[in-house]
Amino acid sequence: MRKMSVGVLGATGMVGQTIIRMMEKHPWFEVSEVAASERSTGKTYEEVMKNRWSASEEIPERIKDMKLKEAKPGLDCDIVLSALDSSVASEIEKSFAKKGYPVSSNAKSHRMDEDIPLLIPEINHDHLSLIERQRKKRGWKGFIITDPNCSTIHMCLALKPLIDSFGVEKVSVTTMQAVSGAGYPGVPSIEIIDNILPFINDEEEKLETEPLKIFGSEKNMHIHNADMKISAQCNRVSVRYGHMEAISVKFSRKPEREEVIDSFRKFSPIKNLGLPSAPERPVVYKNEENRPQNRLDLGIEGGMASVVGRLRECSILDYKFVVLGHNLVRGAAGAAILNAELLKVKGYLE
Ligand SMILES: NC(=O)c1ccc[n+]([C@@H]2O[C@H](COP(=O)([O-])OP(=O)(O)OC[C@H]3O[C@@H](n4cnc5c(N)ncnc54)[C@H](OP(=O)(O)O)[C@@H]3O)[C@@H](O)[C@H]2O)c1
């Protein structure tokens, strides 16, 4: 089978380089083009990434000598994965969709557009129907799909089995988010070393609104938002990778503790789709009272799972627990790749 060719926009950033790394052994896709800003254009990938490549493994051999191109249509690829800075993503992604490219985006720019799917394959792949509405409305040959904010993805994966089994009415979430979530070079070291920053621009709004669309029901190419209240507080903490979230939930029907753990463990909704990057266990429950931890648990399911622990009763809502997730893998690069795989099996890349 010929592999489909992929153009990576924002290939030099934290998310872009994670896409490059994750794509290297992909059975269906192969990176054919790398693009970034004017600062990088014309240089080889290796040259630009000299002091910025952040993985312990080497830059893949076949990518090293690729010349970085401008992020504009004309790239030789079947699909575009966008890891562009959100200040420029909107117009650039639209220009690709207009020219006929399918775009799988990490940026916030189009997540809440009414005709653009905000996807987590385990939760809402029926929202792909919005693509038809988007093409009709905008007259595009291509289209855009998006993945959610990195904290939103992990919270939603943990909530989905609970919603299905017991109904969820209210959620209170406090995040502790890694520095790599702010991109490269990100938060100045003088601000974050030995410190916690109790503000991340726009983050609380994303956590409070994106899940309502993700859990919304699809009818005739329209999404009716879920009826749920979410209150979020977001903090930047001094770890490199992984967002931890402390969550309390009010259920429609309060379950027994064992039922909650059971629902996490049985959650496996897209096994039959055969997506290569889909984790066998999207939600992993850890029994140990001091887990999950960033240093120990981010590698579970190759970083594609949300790791839950510390489930206990809450004296204000019903239950509380923590969720840990890799912000760059399942929270960004892996999410865009998984969405691209979903497009392929659903026939949108023909
Ligand atoms: N980091 C995370 O954990 C995370 C999680 C979820 C979603 N996201 C989203 O994913 C996207 C990428 O995030 P990141 O953390 O990888 O950011 P980053 O490290 O700052 O990388 C940004 C990328 O955008 C490129 N870029 C900037 N201005 C450009 C322009 N005018 N034209 C073309 N390319 C331009 C940069 O290229 P140069 O190197 O040439 O400047 C770089 O490749 C953002 O939209 C972010 O919100 C990030």
User: Where do the structural domains in the chain lie, given as residue ranges?
Assistant: 4-149+332-345, 150-327
**Measured CA distances, 19 to 69, 245, 335, 337 (Å):** 17, 24, 10, 8
Q: What span, in angstroms and rounded, lies between the C-alpha atoms of 158 and 219? A: 25
Other residues' Cβ atoms within 10 Å of the Cβ of residue 27? 10
For the chain, the distance separating the N- and C-terminal CA atoms, rounded to the nearest angstrom, is 14
Mutate to test the pocket of ligand 1, among 85, 88, 111, 154 (most ligand atoms within 8 A of CB): 85
Which ligand 1 atom minimizes the distance to the CA of 109?
Answer: 45
Extract the tokens encoding 183.
Answer: 């991109």
- Encoded amino acid at 148, one letter: P
CA torsion, ordered 100, 105, 108, 114, to nearest 10 deg: 50
Protein residue whose Cα sits closest to atom 46 of ligand 1: 107
Are the folds of 4-149+332-345 and 150-327 the same?
Answer: no
Ligand 1 pocket list (CB less than 6 A): 10-16, 36-37, 39-40, 71, 83-86, 88-89, 106-108, 150, 180-181, 183-184, 327-328, 331-332
What are the helix (H) ranges across the chain? 14-23, 45-48, 61-64, 86-98, 121-124, 130-138, 150-166, 189-192, 203-214, 257-266, 294-297, 334-345
CA of 11 to the centre of ligand 1 (A): 8
Catalytic residues: 150, 243
pLDDT at 289: 97
CB neighbours of 40 closer than 8 A, spacing ≥ 6?
Answer: 12, 48, 68
Distance CA 114, CA 108 (A): 14
The CATH classification number of 4-149+332-345 equals: 3.40.50.720
Residue 327 CA, ligand 1 centroid: distance in Å: 14
Asked if 349 and 343 touch (Cβ cutoff 8 Å), the reply is yes
> Could you tell me which residues come within 8 angstroms of residue 49 by beta carbon, excluding any fewer than 6 positions away?
12, 17, 59
One digit per residue, the tens of pLDDT, for the chain of length 350 reads 799 999 999 999 999 999 999 999 999 999 999 999 999 999 999 999 999 999 999 999 999 999 999 999 999 999 999 999 999 999 999 999 999 999 999 999 999 999 999 999 999 999 999 999 999 999 999 999 999 999 999 999 999 999 999 999 999 999 999 999 999 999 999 999 999 999 999 999 999 999 999 999 999 999 999 999 999 999 999 999 999 999 999 999 999 999 999 999 999 999 999 999 999 999 999 999 999 999 999 999 999 999 999 999 999 999 999 999 999 999 999 999 999 999 999 999 98
Residue 50 token pair: 């000299």
Please tell me the distance from the alpha carbon of residue 271 to that of residue 281, in angstroms, as a whole number: 9
* pLDDT of 350: 87
pTM score above 0.95: yes
CA gap 90, 112 in Å, rounded: 12
Protein residue whose Cα sits closest to atom 1 of ligand 1: 181
Q: What pLDDT was estimated at residue 1? A: 79
Q: 3.30.360.10, 1.10.3720.10, 3.40.50.80, 3.20.20.190: which CATH number matches 150-327?
A: 3.30.360.10
CB 101 within 8 A of CB 77: yes
Residue 145 contacts residue 323 (beta carbons within 8 Å):
no
Atom 3 (ligand 1) nearest CA: 181
Helix (H, G, I), strand (E, B) or coil at 171: strand
pLDDT value at position 259? 98
